[in-house]
């Protein structure tokens, strides 16, 4: 896993895609894209083994009793071969003009379709 912001954001998009249920790939893509947009991610930063995700709605990625963030942390540790040791979630309280650009993720999903 290459640990630049775009690669991490793409992996985050794929992670949400894998969490979605349904037989239709396009439906899963739409649900995953909606889930990512609902988070209102403003920044993704990787430094010294810590992945920091700054977003407006942290509860959506933490999940009930921390189940989602624990699973995300485990999956990213495996995918990054141990480079990502910890995921920190930071709540962003500023204006929503500064959202992270995930438009290329839709393009990546379209390329992977059979």
Q: Pick from 91, 87, 67: which is nearest to 19 by CA?
A: 67
Average pLDDT of 66-79? Answer: 92
The mean pLDDT of the chain is 82
Does domain 5-112 bear CATH number 1.10.10.200? no
Residue, of 33 and 77, whose pLDDT is higher: 77
Are the C-beta atoms of residues 15 and 75 closer than 8 Å to each other?
yes
- Whether the per-residue pLDDT at 103 is higher than 60: the answer is no
The predicted-structure confidence for 30-69, as pLDDT tens digits, reads as follows 888 888 888 888 889 898 899 999 998 999 999 899 999 9
Residue 112 structure tokens: 């992977």
Residue, of 107 and 90, whose pLDDT is higher: 90
Segments making up each domain of the chain, as ranges: 5-112
Distance CA 60, CA 49 (A): 23
Pairing of strands 41-47, 50-55: antiparallel
Between vectors from CA 28 to CA 55 and to CA 45, what angle results, nearest 5°?
Answer: 25
């Amino acid at each position: 896993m290459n640990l630049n912001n775009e690669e991490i954001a793409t992996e985050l998009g794929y992670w949400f895609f894998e969490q979605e249920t349904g037989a239709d790939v396009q439906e899963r893509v739409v649900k995953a894209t909606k889930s990512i947009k609902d988070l209102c991610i403003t920044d993704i930063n990787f430094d010294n083994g810590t992945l920091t995700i700054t977003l407006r709605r942290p509860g959506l990625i933490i999940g009930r009793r921390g189940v989602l963030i624990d699973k995300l942390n485990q999956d990213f540790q495996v995918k990054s071969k141990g480079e990502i040791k910890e995921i920190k979630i930071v709540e962003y309280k500023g204006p929503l003009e500064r959202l992270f650009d995930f438009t290329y993720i839709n393009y990546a999903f379209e390329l992977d379709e059979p």
